[in-house]
Each structure stands twice: as structure tokens, then as C-alpha cells.
Amino acid sequence: MKREIPILLVGITGFAMLIQYFIPTGWSEFIFTYSQDWVIVIGILAMPLGIWSLVKANVSKLKVPGERFYSAVLLAGFLIMVLTCLKRENLEMGSLHMDMFTYVLVPIQATIFSLLAFFIASAAYRAFRARSVLATILLLTAFIVMLRFLPLGPISTLNLKAVSWILSVPNMAVNRAIMMGIGLGATATAIKIILGIERTYMGHD
Amino acid sequence: MTTYELIGNGIAAFLTLCIFSFLYKDNPFYKFAERLVAGVATGYFTMLLFWTNFQDKVWQPIFLNGEYHYIIPAILGIIMWTRFSKKYSWISRYSIAFYIGIGSGVSITVYLYTYLFKQLQATIATPLTFDVAGLNIFLVVIAVVSALVYFFFSMPHKGLFGAVSRFGIYIIMIGFGAGFGLTVMGRIALLVNRIIFLKGWLLELFGG
Amino acid sequence: MTFLEKLMQIDRRWIYLAIGLAVIIPTIWPFDVPVTVSPEVRKIYDFVDEMEAGEYLFVCIDYDPSSMAELNPMAIAIINQAFQKDLKLLFVTLSQFGPGLVEQITSGLAEDHNKVRGEDYIFLGYRPYPAIVIMAMGVDFRVPFPVDYYGTPLDEQPIMDGIKNFDDVKGVIEITSGSTADFWLIYGNGRYGFPLAIGITGVMSANFYQYLSSGQLFGIIPGVKGAAEYEKLVGYPGEGMAQMAYQVIAHTVIILFIIMSNVAYFATRKKRQQMGGGT
């Protein structure tokens, strides 16, 4: 019963949603609307799972000497954000809560990802070598695409046309092929889930 | 910029430099900023979820508007919390089954339509003409077929099949090269944004 | 070890320093870079430009601070154009940190254009599970969003009079850094067929040109260069255009790195082969 009923539930709901698409009646739309609405409510109540896990893990790390300070910083940041948002109005600009968002969260998140610029330069230098025919093709294409930023006069005009062609012909064709494969794979997985063949989402007993 | 904004941006500048210090090596300033953002981000999302999601879609409908049918998904959402219990975690499978089933059912038709039918249609239904546009369409058809052949691993890549597959990987490398070229632009943009911010703050600080 | 061999194994921190210095140059010696508008960007501009005052445009801001460098400029340019044309704007975000960014952008721009929330624009808010939210909005915006981000019921706001779902908006522009573009294509355009365009990071933009060709998207704004092109069209130069000078210098440096690395590689390849070190 611990596995059989959930599998049956997946099959019934999945099949219902599949055939609903082909039945344009009032009750069909009713089922569709309420199923989406209910999933959103489930999601809202399930989201705090991750938040609770993070807080619990860091509270337990307060006992570990090397991690104590950093866990305290994390929990302090969390508590400050909670305590500065005790009214809905604090979600609007001008509140301390949104100032923490603007002056702490935004710059740190933006800067963490800006480090990638350095890493990509390092990767380009160390790994981007014409070791084989395939690597040479990749390198030359990347070269042509990167050259479009350089103001090289008439060469730039030719280069922009080349980049436009690369993006709309070979690049487009490759992504089309990949997307077709993904579409088939995702559809097959969804069918396997509905039929109960794929059960990894249930975890283990 | 007001004094408050100058101080706020000063804090932002300090935290920005803490993260940049990682480029030399991992250090306490970087770790401090990294953990701080994790805490602040979690706190921000918690309150966003509470005030705009829980309040609007759970509390208000059930307790203020009398829409009692929301009690069913609310219970399904709450039983997701049984995942923390080794003894009762199997109960959460009912909630998971509900939304996995719905998600899988709705996705079949739209995945096929978006990823397969429309793309096939665009590949084969475009008329061939005897000009540059027509040549490009022909090249697209050849390239799509070659790339698909490359990803088909149920047959050995030998003979004609192998030759088409080889052509396919060359086309795939062109696609990946284009992706890399665009990636460089994207990554540089992230860095430039921080440099522009630091420049702006320094100019305001020193009255430039 | 010869100079070229040392060059191939240079400490990565020298490369970081070179890139750091490269992006500082335009802050000291700024210069303008000519921007050529690409057709896929122009299509979005023309779409918005051909809309009439009072028509509705749906804008989805689905990115985090980690991508705002590329996406904020295009979002600001689109909203500036829309407000200039007195269009009615509906905003939503399906990204966790999107609400803060939407608040920042809309509060500033609305003030600049004397636009009133609830009459000229509305911010619906954030909900989890993008795919489900998009499908629910296709039935009725009030299903996932009975009230807006600020707690005001949608039915109490003049902007929502007669507006039920995507059939009542002219088109959707989705500005995103990641997977929500796929969700809008699959569950939005795929299910409901409304006109959809995306503004997306450079990293992801190459993966969406096939949808332009098939007509599932009517335009793409690819990364910060696309943002600069859009700013040029709208006539509101912002960070997108400001970034171009930095992009020129940084790309020049990276191209030189690649050339240098390959010259050193080929110059030392024979010696490595003689020593049995492979290619």
C-alpha cells in the first residue's frame, strides 16, 4: 500500500491530464484549473522543507569549532531578514528588508557569478587549443563569434554576416536536433512515470 | 546619492571586494560573504513565501474567504513534511504522486508539440528555392539529419552511417563553438557590471 | 623550460590580473562603440512599437541578481519603450529573487513616466512551479494570483478590467537567465499559442534560434549586446551600451590569450612529441 497507491494515483492523475487536453468541455477545464491551483498550494507548503533543512544544518554546525562563526553569520543574516519583514509592506522598496536585499544580497550574488569571467578567460587560455580537427572547428567558430565585438571596419561587416549565418544555420540545426531528442526523451519518461515503470521519484523504503 | 545610499553602497562595495578576494585564494572574507548571502537569501525567500504565497493562496482563501476546498491541497502540502521522519516518510509519496502525475500528464502533449512537431515542421515544411535562402534551408535539413544520426547510438557508426555521423559531429562542434563565443560575452558582462558599480560608488564617495 | 613552455603553464592568477586590468581600462578612458541592430532584436522592438496606447503587454522578469548585468538593461529598455507608448503592463516573476528586482525596476521607471500602479501597470508577484503557474495563468490570471504582490485583489484594480488570461494581452516578453524560457515555450506558447519573445543571457541564447526559425518565438534579445541594440532602438542609452567598450577590450584580451596559447602549443608540440609526451 505504501507504494502501490501512489503509483495508482500517478497513473490516474497523469492519464486524466493527458486526455483532458483533447476534451474541450466545461468539466474538463474545471479539472484542469483546480489541479493546477492545488499543485501551486502544495508547492507553497512544500517549499519551507529546504529552508528548514538549511537552518537545522547550520544550527547543528554551531557546535563545531571551525564552522561556528560562519554558521552564526548565516543564521544572523537569516534572522535579520525575518525580523525586518514582520509586515507585508516591508517587501516594498524603502524598507530595511529591501535595503538588505539591495546592498547585501544583490552585490554578493552578482559578484559570485562575475568570477566566471576570470575563470572563462583562464579556461580559454589553458584548454582552448587546436589539438584535433574537432577542437579546431570549435575554436575557429568561437573566434568568429567573439570577433564581432572588435571594430575592424569592413572585416566587421563581413564578420557580422558570418556570425548571423552561424547562429541561424549550423547552430540552429544542432540545437533543433538536440531539442528533438530531448522532446522524445522527456515524453518517454513522462509515459513511463504514468505507467508506473519509472518510480525513482518515490525514493526508498 | 544620499548619505544612507552612500553607506549602503559602501557595504555593497566591501562585500563585492570580499568575493573578488577569492581570485587570489580562499580566505575568511570570502567565506563570510558567501555564508552571509546564503542566510540573507534564505531569509528573504522565507518572508516572500510567507507574505505573498502562504498568505494569499492558503491562509486567506481558507480562513478568511471560506474556500474550504483548499484544505485538501493544504493537507497534501503539509504531509510533505513527513519526509523528515524515517518511519512516516512514505506518507509524503501521496503528495508527490499527485503533482508528479499532473506534471507528467500535461507535459506529454506540449513537449511533443513544442520540441518535436513544430521543429519537424520547420525543418521539412519550408519550401526549397534556388537562392541563398534555399541553400540555407537545404543545409539546415542536412545538418539536422546528420546531428540526429550522430546521437543515434543503437547502430554502429560505420560505413555511410558513420560518415553522416562524422559530418554531424563537425556541425555540432560549430554549434558549440558559437555557444562558447556567446558565453564569453555573458561572463564578461557580469564582471563589467561590478566594475561599473564600483566606479560609480568611488566617484560618488570622492565627489567626482 | 623555455619561455614558450613557461607561457603554457602560467599561473592562472596572472590571467585573472590581465582580465581585471583589461576591464578597468574603459573606466579611465571611456569610448563609444558603434552598435548594429540584429533582425531578431528589431522584431521585438517593432512588435512593441506597433502596439497602440492602452493595449496590454505581459512582461515576465525571471532572473536573479546573478544575471541582472545582462538582463536588467534589456528589461529597462523594454519597459521604457512600453511606458513611452502608454501601454498597459502586466508583470510577473517565476524566479525566487525576481520580486525584489521587479520592485527595484518598476518603482523607479513608473515614477519617471508618471505611471500609476493598478491603473497603468500591475505586478502579480511570484509563485513556485513555473510550468504549473504558466498553465494556470492561461486559464485565468486570478487562479494563481487572486491578489497582486502588494495584497490588492486583482478585481479591485482598474487595469484588470476585462482582462482574464493571455487571450487579452497582445504578447508576452519573457526575460530570463535559464529554464523558464523553456517553460514559457512549452506550457505557454505550446499550449495557448500567444506571441512570445525572450530576452536571455548570452550563454543560453544560442539554444533558442530554432524557435525563431519555427515561429514559436517572434524575437530574441541575446545577452548584453542585444540589450545594447534594444537601447539604441528605444533611444534610452543605459548600461547595455555602456558595457560595449568593456566588451571590446575584454574580448581583445581573451582573443590574444587564445592566439598566444595556441602559438605556444604548436611551437612546443614537436619537442613534446620527441620526448614522448603526446600531442
Summarize pLDDT for C85-109 with one digit per residue, the tens. 999 999 999 999 999 999 999 999 9
Domain coordinates of chain C in residue numbers? 3-30+247-274, 39-237
- The complex's ipTM works out to 0.89
- Whether B113 and chain C come into contact, CB under 8 Å, resolves to yes
* Confidence at A205, pLDDT banded by 50, 70, 90: low
pLDDT at C3 over 80: no
> How close C53 gets to chain B, by Cα (Å)?
31
| DSSP per-residue letters across chain C | --HHHHHHT--HHHHHHHHHHHHHHHHHS------PPPHHHHHHHHHHHTSPTT-EEEEEEE--GGGHHHHHHHHHHHHHHHHHTT-EEEEEE-STTHHHHHHHHHHHHHHHTT--BTTTEEEEEE-S-HHHHHHHHHH-TTTT-SB-TTS-BGGGSGGGTT--SGGGSSEEEEEESSTHHHHIIIIIIHHH---EEEEE-HHHHGGGHHHHHHTS-SEEEEHHHHHHHHHHHHT---HHHHHHHHHHHHHHHHHHHHHHHHHHHHHHHHHHHHTT---
Query: Which of A44, A106, A149 is the closest to C65 by Cβ?
Result: A106
A139 vs C contacts (CB less than 8 Å)? 258, 262
pLDDT band at C277, cuts 50/70/90? low
Residues of chain A found within 8 Å of residue C247, distances taken between Cβ atoms: 149
pLDDT, tens digit (0-9, with 9 covering 90-100), for A42-79? 999 998 999 999 999 999 999 998 889 999 999 999 99
Closest CA of chain A from B86, distance in Å:
9
B90 with A115: Cβ contact below 8 A = no
CATH number of C39-237: 3.40.50
Model pTM?
0.92
Q: Stretch C144-148: mean pLDDT, rounded?
A: 96
* Residue of C19, C139, C206 lying closest to A175 (CB–CB): C206
Tell me: pLDDT of A41 over 70: yes
Q: What is the pLDDT of residues A96-138, one digit of tens each?
A: 999 999 999 999 999 999 999 999 999 988 888 888 999 999 9
Looking at residue A76, its pLDDT comes to 96
Find which of C258, C260, C273, C279 to mutate to test the A interface (most A CBs within 10 Å of its CB).
C258
Residue C1: per-residue pLDDT = 67
- Answer yes or no: do A40 and C133 touch at CB < 8 A: yes
Tell me the sheet residues that pair with C173.
C59, C197
**Of C195, C192, C188, which is closest to residue C172 (Cα–Cα)?**
C195
Cβ contact (<8 Å) for A139 and C262?
Answer: yes
Q: Which of B52, B55, B196 minimises the CB distance to C242?
A: B196
Checking if the pLDDT of C279 tops 60, the result is no
From chain B residues 23-82, the ones with a CB under 8 A of any chain A CB are: 23, 31-49, 51-55, 57-58, 69-70, 72-74, 76-78, 80-81
Helices and strands of chain A, counted as H and E runs: 9, 0
Mean pLDDT by 10 residues, chain B (208 residues): 92 96 93 96 96 95 93 93 88 90 93 93 82 88 93 86 92 93 92 94 86
Give the pLDDT confidence of A134-149 residue by residue, as tens digits.
Answer: 999 999 999 999 998 8
Tens-place pLDDT, residues C209-254: 999 999 999 999 999 999 999 999 999 899 999 999 999 999 999 9
Strand-pair partners of C200 = C176, C222
Distance from CA of A72 to the nearest CA of C (A): 23
Residue A83 has pLDDT above 90, yes or no: yes
Amino acid at B130: F
